[in-house]
Structure 1
Amino acid sequence: MFHVGDSIVYPMQGAGLIVAIEEKEILGEKHRYYMINVPIKRLQVMIPIDKVQKSRIRLVADEPTLKHVLDIFQYGQTDTNLSMKERFKINTEKLRTGNFQEGAEVVRDLMRLNKKKALNASEKQMLDSALKIFISELGIIRGITESQANDLLNKRVG
């Protein structure tokens, strides 16, 4: 499904690069693994190839998808009528899907709310994590640094 050199996104972890496909023996069983470097978290992840669909790993989005997502990021509506509990549940589900657009919506909505009033600790942590994941993918797509990607998003949040 994936190849060495592919840029991928591992939901809840961020964008990374498949650096190798290796066979490893763990608990007496041999399996093939994708070896993935995730720079934003400074870690290397091993994902069994036979469990990759369950992990929801996907290729990094392309430029047309990014443009669409950035338009939604900038011009999409934020539902301010949800309670914190409802919002947290919805945002957690969006992040678990690994969907680029849904992750961007979480970042946008929490950034907007944070401008109006301070987020509670759990939403602040969610924003920090979701922002890192989003920035990691944006940086790979555009070939820019984390700092440049962060600046780009701050200009677009309304």
Structure 2
Amino acid sequence: MFQVGDKVVYPMHGAGVIEAIEEREVLGEIRQYYVMHLPVGNMKVLVPLNNVGTLGLRGVISKAEVQGVLQVLKDEAVVSTLAWNRRYRANLEKIRSGNILDVAEVVRSLAQREKDKGLSTGEKKMFENACQILVSELVLAEESEEIQVRQWLSKVLA
């Protein structure tokens, strides 16, 4: 169980800080929720405590683990021969996993594909979403500003 002030990652949404634990009535049932603030995008999200395991909520990586993300981003992207729809589904599953290394892999492969052949509209949106998820966790892990992390990411992917 997480506490107020913990830095956590909510797969498909990104990383944030738990600001409070509140009880709310939904459909006649009183449930407890984490109130999570996502600094990248400046959103608040309510996460039901009884679904934390199912949703994949986890702690933010450490500063030491950022090096693993950097390595994934620097590795040579494997050129996928899958049709765009299968490639899209495979990338979506990686993002949904909540694993930052999988998300970094998606960012790397889509960045490479964009340089080589360009991206479809759906893949462009996925790329932006994956970058936002990655940036949001790196901002909290590195205790840095979003603009600095985005610049760092651009340099690494260049």
TM-score bracket for this pair, using the shorter chain length: over 0.9
Once residues 15 and 55 of structure 1 are traced to their aligned partners in structure 2, the CA distance between those partners, rounded to angstroms, is 13
Partner secondary structure for residue 153 of structure 2: helix
Q: Tell me how large the CA RMSD over aligned residues is.
A: 1.3
What's the secondary structure of 2:65's corresponding residue? Answer: helix
- 1:77 is aligned to 77
Q: Whole-Å Cα distance in 1 between the matches of residues 83 and 24 of structure 2? A: 46
Give the aligned residue type for 1:27.
L
Could you tell me whether the CA contact under 8 Å between 1:13 and 1:41 is conserved in 2? Answer: no
2:105 is aligned with 1:111: no
Q: Secondary structure at the match of 1:50?
A: helix
In the TM superposition, 1:1-158 aligns within 5 A as 1-157=1-157
Q: Deviations over 1:71-115 (max 9, x none)?
A: 111024323323212211110100111111000000011011111
Q: Secondary structure at the match of 1:64?
A: coil
Q: Secondary structure at the match of 2:24?
A: strand
- Native 8 Å contact 1:136 1:146 kept in 2: yes
> What amino acid maps onto 2:5 in structure 1?
G
State the number of aligned residues. Answer: 158
Question: How far did 1:27 drift?
Answer: 2.2
Deviations 1:116-145 (A, max 9, x none): 222110000000111011011111111221
Instruction: Determine the C-alpha separation between the residues in 2 that align with 1:25 and 1:98.
Output: 28
Tell me, yes or no, if the aligned pair for 1:106 and 1:130 is still in contact at 8 Å.
yes
CA distance in 2, matches of 1:32, 1:91: 32
Percent identity, please.
38
Normalized against structure 2, the TM-score is what?
A: 0.94
The residue matched to 2:80 in structure 1 has which SS?
coil
Q: TM-score, normalised by structure 1?
A: 0.94
Distance, in Å, in 1 between the alignment partners of 2:97 and 2:83 is 22
- In structure 1, runs of 5+ residues without a counterpart are none
Contact 1:4 1:19 in 2 (8 A): yes
